[in-house]
Each structure stands twice: as C-alpha cells, then as structure tokens.
Amino acid sequence: MLRRMRTLTAGLLVPAALGVSSPFLAGCNSGDQTGGTETASTDGQDDHEAGGHEHGPGHEAHDGEGGGHEHPSVGPHGGQILEFGSADYHAELVHDEQAGTVSVYILDPGATTASPVEGELTVNVRKDGQAKQYQLKANPDAGESGGKSSRYTAEDPALGEDLHAGADARLVAKIGGRSYNATIDAHSHDHGGHGHSHSGDDALVWRKEGVKEGAYTIAVGHHGTELHAGETVEPAVMVTKDGEDVPNAKVFNALLAADGQKVVAAEKPTVYEPKTAEEPAHYAQGGLMVPQGAKQVVLRFRVVLPEGGEKTIDVPVDVK
C-alpha cells in the first residue's frame, strides 16, 4: 500500500542470458559505503551486463522470468512488493515521507513474513541523465540480532524525492554472495510517507467505535471495504482522549481464526499516521495475511495506552 507507498509497482528484470542490458549500476559501489547519496559511475557494466548475476535456488520453479507463483500485492508493512525474479526472496519498499526515509524489507518466498539476512542493498537511480546510488543501511527490526536484518533504510530524503519525481530506479541486493535485482516503477508514486489518502476499495472502515478505556476512546477497523482470502488486510486503530488525537500509544494487531483462539497471523506493531485532509489520525501499516480458504477471521487489536493501561479488542470479520 504505498498510497504513500502503495503506488510503487515492481517489475522483473530480464536476465543477461537474454542479452538485454540495464541502464543502472548494480551491486556495491567502489567508494566509501557510509550511506546517503553517491554519484554512480556509468563506465562499467552491471551484474547482468557482466554476466555476474546469479539467481538463487528455486528460480527454476518460476514459469519463466515473469514468475508462475502468486503472492500478495501489498507487503506486511503496507508497502509494495518488489519482484527479484527468484524464489529465494521478495522485497517490500516503504517510503515514509514524514520521516524522509525509504526502507526495504526482505521477505520470504511467499512475501508475507520478514526474512532477516546479512546483506548489502542499494537503490540505483537515473534522473535527468544523471546516475545516483543510494546505500541502504541495516536497520534491524525488533527481535532481529546476530548481524542479520530484514529492514534496510536510506535516510537521505533525496531518494524519496527522486522516486516521487518519477526517476528510473532499481533495487540491487547482495545476499549470501548472490545478486538480486528488481526494478521500481516510480512513475506512479504519488506521495510517500504518511500524507497518503485512501479512497474506494482502500477506504477506512470502522468495525467498532466508542470503545472506552479510562479517559481514552478507541475505534478499530481496517483499510479496504472487504477482506479477501489470500490477501493482506491492513488493520487501523484510532485513539483519542478528550477529543484530541493520541500519537504516543502503542498499537499492535494480529489475526485469529474464526474460533478466536488459533493465531493465523502473528501480532505486528503499527505506525501512527497523523491527520490529513482526507483521513483522521490513526495507527496502521501492520499488514496481516488472510489465510487462503478462510470464511471468517478475528482481528485482534492490542492498545497500550500512554499511562500504561492496556485494552484488547477482538472483531470478527467475514472474508470474501
């Protein structure tokens, strides 16, 4: 959901074996990799052009480079799925316009779960005839250790600006000695960060409102008018106190089976999204995968309030 991030789409790169060259650099640059923006040399060839690109095990399982597999179109963090053209990993790109960062999450083959790795990630950009290279630094999510991270972040706002401006861009990841590449179609990027909007099928739907916990009032729901089996749902929570938005709560959501007992999607944290002209302030971006074949699920919301109180709310929702 790049709304802020959902409109970024991904395409597969054509491998070198087909003789198609790429306009970008691949892999690591030869200079100091300390993050930020660097001017990328265009003298050499990238991994595809030099024949150095490797696909990881399982690549044969795809029906050609276009891939014969299925995966959700929206990642577990609310971002767009990027295709590497290999069954090893997917990636998810999330642009937080308010923070000025661009993060890439490495995901499992099903594109539903974070997959911590020791990697080097670069976004190569070409804009107005100039090539740039942005290094993404490991930014481990909670619980990730041992030098591995599923999240890699560029803190240079210029990357988000380049994507917003429609620059040609490509993600290059070096993981376990292999190179993975995915193109980023930034031309449809329509504002990253939290200044996004939802409309139509992606609109906010409140399932339960006016829930009281002390002086706080809580509303819970999700983005999207319906839940669909095999797709990601993005739960949403609004917390107010005396009519004012509460930005410093901690909100988590999980997905349970219809019996309200079995956990089918593990609890995930959410991100506070300030009020916009189109939406109220709310917590979201903790995407959860609805199981294939499900007819009903239970959205579980756990809200930890600033003073330390906690409220858990379960909401049954039918699945299409």
For residue range 232-244, list pLDDT tens digits in order.
899 999 999 998 9
- φ/ψ region of 118 (left if φ > 0, alpha if ψ in -120 to 50, else beta) reads beta
Lowest-confidence region among 43-57, 108-122, 188-202, 299-313:
43-57
Q: Within 13 Å and on the Cβ side, how many CA atoms surround 89? A: 24
On the question of pLDDT at 30 being above 60, the answer is no
Q: Please name the amino acid found at residue 130.
A: Q
Question: Percentage of residues in the chain with pLDDT exceeding 70?
Answer: 71
Cβ of 98: how many Cβ atoms within 10 Å?
A: 14
The per-residue pLDDT for range 1-12, each reduced to its tens digit, is: 334 443 333 433
* Average pLDDT for 295-305: 95
What integer pLDDT is reported at residue 297 of this predicted model? 95
Q: Cα(135)–Cα(118) distance, rounded to whole angstroms?
A: 14
| Ranges of each domain in the chain | 9-188, 200-318
201: confidence class by pLDDT, cuts 50, 70, 90: low
Q: What are phi and psi of 317, to 5 degrees?
A: -140, 130
Better-scored residue on pLDDT, 103 or 58: 103
Superfamily of domain 200-318: Domain of unknown function DUF4426 (2.60.40.3340)
Which of the given ranges, 2-16, 111-125, 268-282, has the highest pLDDT on average?
111-125
117: confidence class by pLDDT, cuts 50, 70, 90: very high
Q: What are phi and psi of 57, to 5 degrees?
A: -55, 145
